Structure 1
Amino acid sequence: MPINLKGSRKEGPKYMNPILTDEAGFGKMPSILWDYMTNKAESVPKKTLGPFKTNPEIFNTPPESGLRITWIGHSSILIEIDGKRILTDPVWSQRASFSKSFGPKRFFDAPIALDDLPPLDAIIVSHDHYDHFDEATIKYFANLSVPFYTSLGVGFYLEKWGIAKDRITEMDWGDTAKVGDDMTITTTPTRHFSGRGITHRNETLWSAFVIKGNKHNIFFGADSGWFEGFADIGEAYGPFDLTMLEIGAYGKNWPDIHMGPDHASNAHLALKGGLMMPIHWGTFNLALHAWYEPIERLQQLAKEKQIRLFAPEPGQPTQVNDLPFISGWWRKYR
């Protein structure tokens, strides 16, 4: 049965996933904690990663292809597409946490300072989890004019942290917003959850985003477990020149809310993707697998499934064309 791509569903104050989903709630906590205590995988790099550095002068020259990607880390991406600049899920803080003292810590510093970013046309916030939505980073943009595009309910936090209401566009699944005269952003369902604490779980929405310019069409997948809806999204909005899909933070205790490389590669194919960019890996320790496992597994799968990968080094602005690009930056830290 096709997934409904237009409009989310709620039960009381809580948003619902497009299909029945195990969100790895409190009942699984004892098992998860025990696995973390006994884990022997290299979930944190033994060698310090980086430093990675971005030369801001590169942004003075537009990409010849019209599409250039700078991976800040995790799901934070500076996208230059058809004359516009879009920043996704900006997290510059050292920890993906409510605290500066504990919680998942970055493996490497953000490769470019916020002050060195070029002027932006839009900021996308997919959902309210700490590794995608960082209070300190958002507050930096409070006195600027860049507009925000986000899922339903997330505007509450944006306003609380100083973003003017007229700069915020909240979007339900299937909504389309314009960025300038010749670009659109459309939200699509994902299979995930939301919440920034023990209470108020799923009271804001979670989304992926189709970004369509006058030449390129790309997909920012944010967080999602596998579901058949990727094929429906591909039919409705594809094909895509580039898909940006999460490959990290998967585990046996939460198979429905993160894909890992196996399902992410399937999602790319279902979406009718051209190049596939792996995101949501190599930046924070959020699971039990080795920090490098997702990308190395994905490379194996890409050969088997004939998928063209796009895996740039953090902080290195990299032009996108039809050719695969695998920097292999992680190998020297093994």
Structure 2
Amino acid sequence: MQLKGSRKEGKKFINPIPTDEAGFDKMPAILWEYINNKAESIPKKTLGPFNTDAAIYQTPPASGLRITWMGHSSLLIEIDGKRILTDPVWSSRASFVQWAGPKRFFKAPLPLDQLPKLDAIIISHDHYDHFDEATIRVLATKNIPFYTSLGVGSYLKKWGVAHHLITEMDWGDTAQVGTDCTFTTAPTRHFSGRGITNRNETLWSAFVIKGHTHNIFFGADSGWFNGFADIGEAYGPFDLTMLEIGAYGKNWPDIHMGPLSAVNAHLALKGKQMMPIHWGTFNLALHAWHEPIDILLELAAKENLSLFVPEPGKPTEVTGESYTSGWWGKYKS
């Protein structure tokens, strides 16, 4: 089975199914909710600090699969001899300025200059909480190949990444990474844009990452849609699905999943183990900062799901056995 490529209307990419992208018409309702919000959306206790021991990367993971969660959707993935960094955001704020906008709850656990040698960097889409100019400008000096969605390459070139290091991909495209690893882009139900006037002029994607032994799914941002079953049929089963569980809200159900839809997506993808991402790092919604993981644990217990929930910054092997670090517990009010 081959997934269909993206479609456009004029200059704008469109979602795989009709989608309410929480545009300007929703702004009054969303602002009113923010004004009246009582949830602890920002932790009262400072999280961390979390620190990564970079010396660990000198020894390959015995299982062949090890992940370091740097927060939100930034992951250092070691899979079957390859090292891949996803959606790196090292700046203090996910914003177009560093004096305003959503601020990290904890600093990135590993300084950029201490990252091990990387084989690839994945950029799923152009939103500020996934695509950080300051971080990219540093990484651009390191001669690392970038794999990203259609249109995002123009930013990469502007920020210093050499043209020959950029591979733009449409949904269903496959790129060879070295001799025994492939990336395949898959549809998500989301949107793009870094300003008011350029909404949806670049594409948004998930990534299937397949090594010689492991097959994993980096879901990036998406609302629920039946396309997850198509992806699972075409490219599953997956040893690990990395799916967003945070930043959901009643006014934008089509573009972010939340824990319940993430569990349904994991099952549709034929996932063996699920890692929650896109939570516990930025205040991007109205729910309590720890609510997504609390709900996920309840759902996982009911569904008998195998979870993989490492502490931020701690390189942790994926062995297939359920692992929940519980790191957030001591920070809850």
Question: Which of these residues, 185, 193, 205, is aligned with residue 183 of structure 2?
Answer: 185
1:303 partner SS: helix
1:332 partner SS: helix
- In the alignment, the residues of structure 2 paired with residue 160 and residue 63 of structure 1 have an alpha-carbon distance, to the nearest angstrom, of 36
Matching of residues 97-246 of structure 1 within 5 Å:
97-246=95-244
CA shift for structure 1 position 255 = 0.2
2:274 alignment counterpart: 276
Is contact 1:48-1:107 (8 Å) kept? Answer: yes
Deviations 1:275-313 (A, max 9, x none): 100000000000000000000000000011111100000
- In the alignment, the residues of structure 2 paired with residue 278 and residue 143 of structure 1 have an alpha-carbon distance, to the nearest angstrom, of 31
2:302 alignment counterpart: 304
Unaligned runs of 5+ in 2: none
Matching of residues 84-99 of structure 1 within 5 Å:
84-99=82-97
TM-score normalised by the chain length of structure 2: 0.99
- In the alignment, the residues of structure 1 paired with residue 149 and residue 280 of structure 2 have an alpha-carbon distance, to the nearest angstrom, of 25
2:241 partner SS: strand
Is contact 1:145-1:167 (8 Å) kept? Answer: yes
- In the alignment, the residues of structure 1 paired with residue 3 and residue 221 of structure 2 have an alpha-carbon distance, to the nearest angstrom, of 16
- In the alignment, the residues of structure 2 paired with residue 235 and residue 142 of structure 1 have an alpha-carbon distance, to the nearest angstrom, of 36
1:70 partner SS: strand
- In the alignment, the residues of structure 1 paired with residue 63 and residue 79 of structure 2 have an alpha-carbon distance, to the nearest angstrom, of 9
Deviations 1:97-144 (A, max 9, x none): 000100000000000000000000000000000000000000001221
CA shift for structure 1 position 197 = 0.9
Question: Which of these residues, 3, 7, 10, is aligned with residue 9 of structure 1?
Answer: 7
- In the alignment, the residues of structure 2 paired with residue 263 and residue 143 of structure 1 have an alpha-carbon distance, to the nearest angstrom, of 39
- In the alignment, the residues of structure 1 paired with residue 167 and residue 277 of structure 2 have an alpha-carbon distance, to the nearest angstrom, of 24
- In the alignment, the residues of structure 2 paired with residue 99 and residue 116 of structure 1 have an alpha-carbon distance, to the nearest angstrom, of 25
2:132 maps to a residue whose letter is D
- In the alignment, the residues of structure 2 paired with residue 284 and residue 115 of structure 1 have an alpha-carbon distance, to the nearest angstrom, of 23
- In the alignment, the residues of structure 2 paired with residue 252 and residue 94 of structure 1 have an alpha-carbon distance, to the nearest angstrom, of 27
Unaligned runs of 5+ in 1: none
- In the alignment, the residues of structure 2 paired with residue 103 and residue 240 of structure 1 have an alpha-carbon distance, to the nearest angstrom, of 35
- In the alignment, the residues of structure 2 paired with residue 319 and residue 201 of structure 1 have an alpha-carbon distance, to the nearest angstrom, of 38
1:22 alignment counterpart: 20
Is contact 1:247-1:278 (8 Å) kept? Answer: yes
Greater alpha carbon shift after TM alignment, 135-144 vs 49-58: 135-144
Is contact 1:243-1:268 (8 Å) kept? Answer: yes
CA shift for structure 1 position 5 = 2.1
2:36 maps to a residue whose letter is T
2:29 partner SS: helix
Is contact 1:45-1:107 (8 Å) kept? Answer: yes
Deviations 1:230-283 (A, max 9, x none): 000000000000000000000000000000000000000000001100000000
- In the alignment, the residues of structure 2 paired with residue 43 and residue 50 of structure 1 have an alpha-carbon distance, to the nearest angstrom, of 17
- In the alignment, the residues of structure 2 paired with residue 276 and residue 141 of structure 1 have an alpha-carbon distance, to the nearest angstrom, of 29
1:35 partner SS: helix
CA shift for structure 1 position 25 = 0.2
2:293 partner SS: helix
1:326 alignment counterpart: 324
1:63 alignment counterpart: 61
Is contact 1:74-1:279 (8 Å) kept? Answer: yes
Is contact 1:6-1:175 (8 Å) kept? Answer: no
CA shift for structure 1 position 6 = 2.1
1:234 partner SS: helix
TM-score normalised by the chain length of structure 1: 0.99
- In the alignment, the residues of structure 2 paired with residue 48 and residue 55 of structure 1 have an alpha-carbon distance, to the nearest angstrom, of 21
1:231 partner SS: helix
Is contact 1:76-1:87 (8 Å) kept? Answer: yes
2:283 alignment counterpart: 285
1:254 partner SS: coil
- In the alignment, the residues of structure 2 paired with residue 288 and residue 59 of structure 1 have an alpha-carbon distance, to the nearest angstrom, of 37
- In the alignment, the residues of structure 1 paired with residue 132 and residue 197 of structure 2 have an alpha-carbon distance, to the nearest angstrom, of 18
State, as a whole percentage, how many aligned pairs show the same letter: 76
1:274 partner SS: coil
- In the alignment, the residues of structure 2 paired with residue 257 and residue 55 of structure 1 have an alpha-carbon distance, to the nearest angstrom, of 35
- In the alignment, the residues of structure 2 paired with residue 159 and residue 317 of structure 1 have an alpha-carbon distance, to the nearest angstrom, of 31
2:266 maps to a residue whose letter is H
